[in-house]
Structure 1
Amino acid sequence: MDRITLGNDEFEGENNAYVLHDGDDLALVDTGIATTEVREDLREGLAEYGYEFSDVDDIVLTHFHTDHAGLAGEVQAESDATVYVHEADAPIVEGDDEATAALDERRREYLQTWGIPASKREELLGVVEAVTGLNETHPTVTPIEDGDTLEVGGHTLETVHAPGHALGLCCFEIAGRDEAFVGDVILPVYTPNVGGADVRVERPLETYLETLRSLADRDYDRVWPGHRDPIEKPTERALTIIDHHRERTERVIAVLEEHGPADPWTVSAELFGELEGIHIVHGPGEAFAHLDHLVHEGVAAVDDGEYRLTAGDVDLESVVSTAGTN
């Protein structure tokens, strides 16, 4: 197994494509975004191992985001590779008009209810249109689900559904090695966005916390993320991210205490300041994820898009818990 580092500056940057190969059997885990730079990075990376796009037999996608799945269609067009992605993300990766329109409509609704100013909404939607417009070729995909086993590139991968950052996000355990490809479930530098990265996810923070607890319980020796370098202590990293969200929850509570009822855009401004580009959805999306979690935990209530505290002293450990981890 080898790693190709892709020169992407979008989102978390420094995407990875993983090369699984055993003689003539060649697979990729993620492909990168469909820009000229990344396309050449992927071609040159494969060439270092003696391969071309046309040699790829299988493509395994961790999730639908374009910085992970963007080149899948182009590679498939040259190779007739089988493209695997979780069933929740499959229609979007294929470019299905109905699924794409539903995602776009849901995003627009959230942008308005989160209190994002009209000018910022238009700026964000322009960025989204530009990024999604890079995908001129969509693949035909083979949907997979939790527990499915894939025989690709001379390796056996077990699919582990890991939603939160994205509805269809999956890890892929590598048989015979206590390791996994984890996409954006955990990252070595940044904490993956929840709430804004995929507006289809219900109860985004709790869903992501459940995924983090599950990953910690699996206690891998090493994981291979969608961005940057491998993570040598993934259980520790998962628990650190849970701690991060507990601290962020505390900050959200403090904002509500100081400002009274507030919408996600107002809370986001207190947490992250001025936002531009894709972060226009990531900031208030993350604020919403925490506010929504507080409502479900009985700590807050929401009226006409504004959130207010309904409890005094809050037990943060019970609200953002590590319970269930070893």
Structure 2
Amino acid sequence: MRELTPTVFALEKTAGANGYLVAGEDCSVLIDPGLASGARSSLAELAGARRLVPPVTDVVLTHYDPDHSGAAPAVQEALGVRVWLGREDVPILRGETEPPTRARRFLKLINPMHPPVALSEIVEPTEIIPGLSVLPAPGHTPGHVIVSWRGVVFVGDAAMMRRGRLVQLPAPLISDRDAALATTDLIASLRPRLVCPGHGRPDRLSLSD
């Protein structure tokens, strides 16, 4: 794992999206464990960090896309953790509701989704462990969430960072553009000292405007 702050780490063995670990006082939270194909490597990386961070008790999925959620079932089975997901994304991940855009329905065909056995739904701003807040942040998907911890914001695919600015992902991957833009405003309003995106490198947000 690569240290970003004294309590925030970037996983280096996840496949697909970036995975992050937040170390609390007596437990840790894993954010977006990545594709199912990387589950074994990610679990090995977590096992190797046991002397550095408290045990993982919770996994937060920023949204249902398999490059973020695919490894969650294996992590849940191996570690016995709770897995959190925004309520509106839960039926999509479970296969009860079709993804909301044509591009997403196509992606589902080539990369099927496999949900964890149990999911804890996020309906409103929720504190998972003391100091770690999960906030509804729809747009990229209906139930997308972001995670805030000590000035660091984990934004999943709500935005990417480009030269210190928040930018949207390609339009075919956005379920609701107006909601996505409102989410970008929400991220900026938190005035984070570090933004950790699902893709690309973490970066500081320019707050000059």
TM-score using structure 2 length = 0.79
Superposed counterparts of 1:180-195, under 5 Å: 180-188=153-161, 191-194=168-171
Residue 197, structure 1, aligned to residue 173, structure 2: yes
Aligned residue number for residue 56 of structure 1? 56
Measured in 1, the distance between the counterparts of 2:185 and 2:118 equals 33
Identify the structure with the greater strand proportion: 2
Identify the structure with the greater helix proportion: 1
Measured in 1, the distance between the counterparts of 2:187 and 2:22 equals 23
Measured in 2, the distance between the counterparts of 1:131 and 1:62 equals 18
**Amino acid in the other structure paired with 2:9:** D
Cα RMSD, aligned residues only: 2.7
C-alpha displacement of 1:22: 4.6
**Amino acid in the other structure paired with 2:151:** D
Aligned residue number for residue 112 of structure 2? 132
Superposed counterparts of 1:147-166, under 5 Å: 147-151=125-129, 155-166=130-141
Measured in 2, the distance between the counterparts of 1:170 and 1:234 equals 22
Give the number of aligned pairs: 194
C-alpha displacement of 1:228: 2.8
Measured in 2, the distance between the counterparts of 1:183 and 1:49 equals 23
C-alpha displacement of 1:223: 1.4
**Amino acid in the other structure paired with 1:98:** E
Query: Deviations for 1:196-229, whole angstroms, at most 9, x for unmatched residues?
Result: 325xx4xx22221122122222221111111232
Residue 169, structure 1, aligned to residue 169, structure 2: no
C-alpha displacement of 1:128: 2.8
Measured in 2, the distance between the counterparts of 1:233 and 1:178 equals 11
Query: Deviations for 1:227-275, whole angstroms, at most 9, x for unmatched residues?
Result: 2321212657xxxxxxxxxxxxxxxxxxxxxxxxxxxxxxxxxxxxxxx
Q: From the superposition, tell whether residues 82 and 7 of structure 1 become closer, same or farther in structure 2 (CA, over 3 Å).
A: closer
**Amino acid in the other structure paired with 2:20:** Y
Aligned residue number for residue 29 of structure 1? 31
Q: Considering only CA atoms, is the larger Rg found in Structure 1 or Structure 2?
A: 1
Q: From the superposition, tell whether residues 173 and 62 of structure 1 become closer, same or farther in structure 2 (CA, over 3 Å).
A: same
Indicate which of 183, 195, 202 corresponds to 1:223. 195
Measured in 2, the distance between the counterparts of 1:44 and 1:56 equals 13
Indicate which of 95, 98, 105 corresponds to 2:96. 98
Once the two structures are aligned, what percentage of the paired residues are identical? 24
Q: Contact 1:6–1:16 (CA<8 Å) still a contact in 2? A: no
TM-score using structure 1 length = 0.53
Query: Deviations for 1:101-154, whole angstroms, at most 9, x for unmatched residues?
Result: x33xx54xx57xxxxxxxxxxxx83x5323115x3x633101012322111xxx
Measured in 1, the distance between the counterparts of 2:58 and 2:151 equals 22
Q: From the superposition, tell whether residues 58 and 205 of structure 1 become closer, same or farther in structure 2 (CA, over 3 Å).
A: same
Q: Contact 2:14–2:35 (CA<8 Å) still a contact in 1? A: no
Q: From the superposition, tell whether residues 217 and 92 of structure 1 become closer, same or farther in structure 2 (CA, over 3 Å).
A: same
Measured in 2, the distance between the counterparts of 1:46 and 1:17 equals 11
Measured in 1, the distance between the counterparts of 2:188 and 2:138 equals 15
Q: From the superposition, tell whether residues 235 and 63 of structure 1 become closer, same or farther in structure 2 (CA, over 3 Å).
A: farther
